[in-house]
Amino acid sequence: MTENSTQEAKAVEAVLHDMLAAAGNGDVEGVRRCVSEDLLLYKVGREKGIGALLDAVRSFPDVGDYYCPHLSDMVTRVDGDLATITYRNRSELRFKDGTTKEPIWLESAILQRSDRWRIVFHHSTFIAED
pLDDT digits (tens, 9 = 90+) for 49-69: 889 889 888 888 777 777 889
Q: What is the pLDDT of residues 11-45, one digit of tens each?
A: 999 999 999 999 988 899 999 999 999 999 998 77
pTM across the whole model = 0.88
The arithmetic mean of pLDDT across residues 65-78, rounded, is 91
- Domains of the chain (ranges, CATH numbers): 3-126 (3.10.450.50)
- Given a cut of 70, whether residue 2 has pLDDT beyond it is no
Nearest to 74 by CA among 62, 90, 60, 61: 90
